[in-house]
Every structure is written in C-alpha cells, then in structure tokens.
Homo-oligomer: A and B are copies of this chain.
Amino acid sequence: MITIQNYYGIVEDAVIHKLYNISKKLINKRVVHINSTYVGGGVAEMLSTFIPLMNDIGVDMEWRIQYGVPDFFAITKKFHNALQGDSISLSEIKRKVYLLSNERFSTFTRLPHDLIIIHDPQPLPLINYYVKKQPWIWRCHIDLSHPNKELWNYLKKFILKYDLVIVSHPNYIQKDLPINYKIINPAINPLSTKNMDLSSKEIESVLQKYNIPTDKKLITQISRFDKWKDPEGVIDLFKIVKQKCKECRLVLCGSMATDDPEGIEIYKRVQKKASSLIESGDIILITVENNYLVNALQRASSVIIQKSIKEGFGLTVTEALWKGKAVVASNVGGIPLQITDGVSGYLLDPYDIDGFADRIVHLLQNESTANKFGIAGKEHVRKNFLMTRLLLDYMNLMNDMF
C-alpha cells in the first residue's frame, strides 16, 4: 500500500512527522475529489497517489469519477482548449450535453462531505445540482491566463458558487472573478513507476524491448500528442539540430488520454511531417502507455525538451529535473517556476525554434553544463515539487477552511 513512510530518506524526517501530525480540526472531516478520469493525464496520475496518501495520514478523503458519455468528453475537451485561448462555438447543444451529464451524475452520487474539491471544467456545473451544505473548491489545472471570453463568461456563473478557486500560477488569476484564490503548484511522486530509481541495466533492458537504440545521444519530449505541446514544432527544431550535430536522435513519446479524442489526428500530422527522419531511424515516435518506459527514456536522454505553447504547470519538466536532466523548455505556464534560465536548464520563447536548437546543441556538446543543470534542478524539485509538499499545502488549506 501507498504510505508516507516510504518517503523516508527521500525527504527530511521533519516533513514526514509533520504530515502524520494531524490537527484536531481535520479529524472526522470528510473530503471528496471529483474529476473526469482515473487514468490518462497528469491530474489523474497525481490524484492516484495523493488521495491514498491523505488517507494514510488520517484524512478521510474519497475520490469519485464523473459520469459522461463520449459526446460529453468531446465537448469538454473543446472547453479545455478554449480555456487556454482557443475559439469555440458555444452552441445550445454543447451546453445541454455538458449540463445533462452533470445532472445525471448527481442523481446517483451523494455528497455528504465536509469539503468538495472539483477538478477542471468537466464537473464544474455539478454544484448546481446539489443543495450547498459545505465549502466547494474548484481546482483548475489549466493555463487560465487568456481564456476564451465567451466560454469564461458562461462558466463564471458556476464558478461564482464556489468558495475558493485553486490554480497553479499567479498569472491564471482572472481579475473579473471576485473569489478567493489560492495558488498550489502540483507535484510528482518520486516512488511511482515513472519516477523511481532505475539501474542502468534496467534502463538498457526496457529501451531494448522497445527498439530504442542508444548508440547516438537521445533528445526526448514526453508529452501527449496535443497541439499545446507542439510536437510538430519539435520536429522542425530537430531538423536544425541535426544540421549541427549528426550523432543524436529525437524521441517523441506520448500517451493518449481517454478524454482526448484529438490526439490521434495530431499524431498523424506529426508522422507525416517526420516521415523521412522516421524512416532513417533518427526520429522515434512512441504512443505506448508505459510509465516504466517513460522513466527509462528520461534517464537515458542527454537533453529533455518541453516545447509547449501553453502549459498548466508542466509535470513532465518536474519529472525530467528529478532525474537530474538538463531541460530546454518554453518559458510558459509553470515551467519558469521550475527552471532558472542558465542555472537549471534553458528557457525560451515557445516560437523561438532556432533558440531551442542552439541550446540543445550546446548541451549535447557540453556535458558538464548539462550535469550541473541536472544537479541544481533535482534539488529544486526535492524542496518544492514532491508529493509531500502538495500534501502539506492541502493540510494547511483544510486547516484554514474548517
């Protein structure tokens, strides 16, 4: 079972004791989290550790998955993109499907809890289908810095009923929302299959299994095939890198979330764009959903890329830093909270393809810089972005609410 004791030796002893030292205010309080999927995507991954650990600490915390038909998830994916700035046709039928799925879910879901935490836009309107008897928190993991206005105005009607909104970055605070905000950075689990230590033998064996050669240096981006992660831009910059540094390969590795019907389309476009380099073996695309493989890939890579156009927080960057890797990333969302440019990685404008290529070539040619960045990055993650810090943030938050 998942327990805080397993973090002994990874974080300070004081952190472990502090977590188990539950306040009287939290005893007998019941908390529930509601989101749209148990697997696929960073939010589900985080909750799958966070919630069992909270129960280990002694906080009674439940987890419910929202009901939804495929149409519902197609629509809420559009909402997700529009909250990040995309345009959207907010038709009557979209609103209707959005509300009906929430209403249906409410008919067979009792919420007698003392605190309700709703994740992301999918279950946001749920609050309309209950008699409000407790504080409700909306925890939005999306980059809300430039939401589509029409959608924002529609969703605000529901958000205003909430007691608190949690976002990952100060830039996501909307001035027209007269609600208490709290900023909580997400975190990773250093013990998960994706992040645990691996021996070089284990790394070698899994790469062999997936036919990933290691005779040349690996440059890797781990991200869903999603337009906000700009996999097509990564292909472009890799073509420039290749001109200056022949002895390297690019790996794009991305799972398909069950709530992401767009993924397959974007994958096909990337495949087309990279076709000749895929044939020559210089670009490797992987859609296998395997955290162990991701772990090995990150550890085997010389440079990690994160060329996102928008990014909520960027947990894939956290994961790479935790593995002591040099990361070249876009200066967007939560990434600058994680990387100090020139100290623990490089930050660039997401559209600066030449800049990306230049920094990657520099790191490929200067291993000592790459190593120095890696050490600095790992310590920064240990202090700020491990699961234990997230648990403390929520303990403090709940202490303030009750």
Q: Which residues of A contact B (CB under 8 A)?
A: 1-2, 30, 38-39, 48, 51-52, 55-56, 60-65, 67-70, 103-104, 107-110, 258, 289
Cβ A108 vs Cβ B70 within 8 A: no
Where chain A touches its partner, the secondary structure class is mixed
**Nearest-Cβ distance from residue A72 to partner chain B, whole angstroms:** 10
Cβ A48 vs Cβ B63 within 8 A: no
Knowing A64-B64, A67-B48, the reply to whether A55 touches B1 (Cβ < 8 A) is: no
Cβ B107 vs Cβ A52 within 8 A: yes
Picked from B39, B67, B68, the residue with its CB within 8 Å of the CB of A70 is B39
Closest to A47 in B: B108
A39 to B36 CA separation, bound complex (whole angstroms): 13
Q: Which B residues lie within 8 Å of A39 (CB)?
A: 68-70
Cβ B1 vs Cβ A52 within 8 A: no
Cβ A108 vs Cβ B68 within 8 A: no
A355 to B188 CA separation, bound complex (whole angstroms): 60
Picked from B55, B56, B70, B110, the residue with its CB within 8 Å of the CB of A62 is B110
Cβ A51 vs Cβ B1 within 8 A: no
Cβ B108 vs Cβ A51 within 8 A: yes
A107 to B108 CA separation, bound complex (whole angstroms): 21
Q: Point out which of A30, A56, A65, A258 has the most chain B C-beta atoms below 10 A from its C-beta.
A: A65
Closest to A56 in B: B107
Q: Which B residues lie within 8 Å of A60 (CB)?
A: 110
Q: Point out which of A65, A67, A258 has the most chain B C-beta atoms below 10 A from its C-beta.
A: A67
**Nearest-Cβ distance from residue A128 to partner chain B, whole angstroms:** 13
A65 to B38 CA separation, bound complex (whole angstroms): 9
Q: Which B residues lie within 8 Å of A64 (CB)?
A: 64
- With A1-B104, A61-B108, A65-B65 already in contact, 9 other A-B pairs whose C-beta atoms are closer than 8 Å: A39-B69, A48-B67, A48-B104, A51-B108, A52-B104, A56-B107, A62-B109, A62-B110, A63-B67
Cβ A108 vs Cβ B63 within 8 A: yes
Picked from B38, B68, B103, the residue with its CB within 8 Å of the CB of A67 is B38
Cβ A62 vs Cβ B108 within 8 A: yes
Q: Which B residues lie within 8 Å of A109 (CB)?
A: 62-63
Closest to A54 in B: B108
Q: Which B residues lie within 8 Å of A61 (CB)?
A: 108
Q: Which B residues lie within 8 Å of A289 (CB)?
A: 70
Closest to A61 in B: B108
Cβ A52 vs Cβ B258 within 8 A: no
A281 to B104 CA separation, bound complex (whole angstroms): 40
**Nearest-Cβ distance from residue A264 to partner chain B, whole angstroms:** 13
